[in-house]
Amino acid sequence: MNKLKYKLIPQGAAEGRNPIHLIFVDKKDVVAAGLTYRQACEVIAKDFKEPSAINIIDMDAVTVSSDGIMVDYGIVAFASVDYGMINKDFGYLEVSEQPYSTKLLAEEPHMKQWDNIDAYKGKRLYRGPNFEDRWPRVPHNETQTITGRIANNNTGSEVMNVVDMTEVLIPAYGALEIMKDGEVLIGVAGPEISVGIGMVVFETYGRIFHRSYGAGLTAHNSGKYAKTVKSDYPAIAGPKRTLAEYTMRALEIGLVPGKDLGCSPAVLSIAKAMGKPIAFDNIEERAWIELESVGIRRADLEAPSTPMTREEILAKADEIVPGLTDGKLFKVADISEIRYAEC
């Protein structure tokens, strides 16, 4: 009998900072076990049984953060589990592969990273499910799975227990580090991440939205309250030097925050540190209100300063990149368990 390998970050891990069971599966292990993605999720559900979220990840693919930064992995399927079951209609979703095209690159300028950064060239792109793959979902829950108590939302990046109202965010760089057995920074998201989540880019079948909003706009549109939307949720993020590295790659090929990239506090802060252009006039007033509520002010960004080197930014990333309260670094190996489900 075959066995399927999976990685569990249990509820209560990381000194009690993780509130919900989280399961991560490498696509290669699914293939090795001779299973479909759906079968793999069912096998894990029967093995683990506890309320949990499952993400199946292709480490040879690419995806995009909500503010438009490409990252070299891709969630290819995700699911919600409760009592060892997955809801037949709404508990599982596959993520649609987005084919390469010059039309996509023209419509979505942040995707120039796909062409211009060697680490991403030729790799499959996964962001969110298309209309056909997400059926029978309707727009208000189109990138979410739910079974019993567990909702796995925004294509595997936000997990909720809808009964006890606990929640955990898994930003892109956190998932990347989990899969690479690196380090994760776990703390309370804080107001800067709360604001940043709403500074999205225009995408076809994105992780959260389909062809909505765009660089320089805010999806939250909540004024000074945007900083409270996700601020008190725990987040399993990557180290800030990881976020800085991936963001600098995008800025180094000439992409501009507010025009090509989302105007999140993190992207704007790194662009300022590098001395890179920012499309100030393309950032709408409603977005500036949200940014200024967390101390990201246009006057400060426009003020003259000496650009820092790439090495300086990586070394001082914890000071430069805003967000995450009471964050603590953990080695993934110290907070996770490797398990095997019979299949």
User: Which pLDDT tens digit goes with each residue over 233-246?
Assistant: 999 999 999 999 99
Q: How confident is the model at residue 306 (pLDDT cuts 50, 70, 90)?
A: very high
**Predicted local confidence at residue 186, as pLDDT:** 98
Residue 24 lies in a domain: yes
Taking the CA atoms of 281, 283, 269 and 63 in sequence, report the sign of the dihedral they define: negative
pLDDT digits (tens, 9 = 90+) for 278-291: 999 999 999 999 99
Record the pTM. 0.96
The pLDDT of residue 139 is 63
Q: Is residue 153 part of a domain?
A: yes
pLDDT one-digit tens code per residue, 6-56:
999 999 999 999 999 999 999 999 999 999 999 999 999 999 999 999 999
Domain range for 133: 3-181+333-342
Q: Residue written as tokens 């180290």?
A: 239
pLDDT for res 47 = 98
pLDDT at 258 over 90: yes
Calculate mean pLDDT across residues 113-136. Answer: 92
Q: What percent of the chain has pLDDT over 70?
A: 99
Is 219 part of any domain? no
In a domain, 206, yes or no: no
Domain assignment present for 288: no
The mean pLDDT value of the chain amounts to 95
User: How confident is residue 253, by pLDDT bands cut at 50, 70 and 90?
Assistant: very high
Count up the domains in the chain and report the number: 1
In a domain? residue 235: no
Ramachandran class of 258: left when φ > 0, alpha when ψ lies in -120 to 50, beta otherwise: left
Helix (H) or strand (E) holding 283: none
Residue 257 CA to residue 268 CA, distance in Å, equals: 7
Q: Is residue 236 part of a domain?
A: no
Strand order of the sheet with strand 183-188? 145-147, 150-153, 158-161, 166-169, 234-237, 183-188, 325-331
Q: What is the pLDDT of residue 207?
A: 83
